[in-house]
Amino acid sequence: MAKLLILDLFNLIHRAYHALPKEFTDKNGNPTNAIYGVSSMLLTVLNQVHPTYVVAVVDTEKPTFRHEAFTGYKAHRRPMEDLLSVQIPKVLELVNAFKIQAVSAPGYEADDLVAAIATKHKKANQVIVFSNDRDLWQLVQPNVVIMLPSTKGDKIEWVGEKEVIARLGVLPNQVPDYKGLVGDSSDNIPGVYGIGQKTAGDLLKKYSTIENIYRHVGEVTPDSLREKLVNGYDQAVMSKKLATLDYNTPADFSLEASRYGNLPIQSVSEALQSYNFKSLLKRVGVEPSVREAAQKGLFD
């Protein structure tokens, strides 16, 4: 079966930036830690997956329906650091050097676009989503798996249904319900006050969905839990809506245009050489032009 690799690009950028030392710079002193980290992760995932198709999904600055539904959505996040923002255009140039198609959908989050692409092409392809974002775990099913980028060299973790159940205590398609109850501090999704992971798992194991929980809320025990649910009804419904991916996101994406063959060594090596990423050049089989300086890091 053909393999479609979907890269959650901004997730990878943030992971690289926060995992690697800020001292990573080019000869002019410009920061390169995010560029280096993404380069290394791309080399790793392409080598391990050998995809038939590859697409990088990116966020846009336009507010989404979630911001309109809940003004507090992601409102607690600090503005992007300058050391990171200046690297974003360069990472996009790097993705182009890898000959990877990049797509976005203004007014929607990258997660929604990932969901739309994965859903449309899952029947004819094994879909692999490369991301550390647990919001995407709701996509997991027989033909859709998640790969977690790792800080331990070439080691990559796979997340399927078994792993979702083991870590969250719910099925993949229950992840929005789970977040509706527990919330998600990273996105400022409130959930129901006082309900934690175990309680949410127990409720969803018995009632399957938030809607069904509230149909039977009168039979929920103990009284204190029932009271929390009753008082948190509006938050639960809104939180589930915020956590649910939009599978109908308009995707300006061509599967055939994303077809991927061998790594384009020339353009990739030129990009890596421009940043003096000598250890990465060796990974693509190109000997650096000068003696290698230390470029070791978490993503080597």
Domain regions of the chain by residue span: 2-165+246-283, 169-243
3-state secondary structure of 146: strand
Q: What is the CATH number of domain 169-243?
A: 1.10.150.20
Beta carbons of 210 and 177 less than 8 angstroms apart? yes
Torsion of Cα atoms, 25 then 288 then 299 then 113, to 10°: 80
3-state secondary structure of 136: helix
Beta carbons of 251 and 116 less than 8 angstroms apart? yes
pLDDT recorded at residue 106: 86
In one letter, which amino acid is 265?
Answer: I
Nearest CA to 11 out of 246, 186, 154, 239 is that of 186
pLDDT recorded at residue 69: 59
3-state secondary structure of 53: strand
Which DSSP state fits 6?
E
Can you give the pTM of this predicted structure?
0.90
Place of tokens 């938030």: 210
In one letter, which amino acid is 173?
Answer: N
- Pairwise CA distance, residues 144 & 128, whole Å: 6
pLDDT recorded at residue 291: 38
3-state secondary structure of 97: helix
Give residue-wise pLDDT tens across range 207-249: 999 999 999 999 999 999 999 999 999 999 999 999 999 998 9
pLDDT recorded at residue 251: 82
Identify the CATH assignment for 2-165+246-283 out of 3.40.50.80, 3.40.190.10, 3.40.50.1010, 3.10.450.50: 3.40.50.1010
Contacts of 273 (CB under 8 A, 6+ apart): 281, 286, 288, 289
pLDDT recorded at residue 70: 59
pLDDT recorded at residue 72: 61
Determine if the peptide bond prior to 222 is cis (ω within 30°). yes
pLDDT recorded at residue 227: 97
- Pairwise CA distance, residues 116 & 122, whole Å: 10
Residues pairing with 7 in the sheet: 56, 130
- H-helix segments, the chain: 9-19, 33-49, 65-69, 82-85, 88-97, 110-121, 161-168, 175-182, 197-207, 210-215, 223-231, 233-243, 265-274, 278-283
Nearest CA to 36 out of 28, 45, 26 is that of 26
Per-residue pLDDT of the chain (300 residues; tens, 9 = 90+): 999 999 999 999 999 999 999 999 999 999 999 999 999 999 999 999 999 999 999 988 766 666 565 566 555 556 778 999 999 999 999 999 999 999 998 888 899 999 999 999 999 999 999 999 999 999 999 999 999 987 555 677 899 999 999 999 999 999 999 999 999 988 888 999 999 999 999 999 999 999 999 999 999 999 999 999 999 999 999 999 999 999 989 888 899 999 999 999 999 999 999 999 999 999 998 877 643 443 444 444
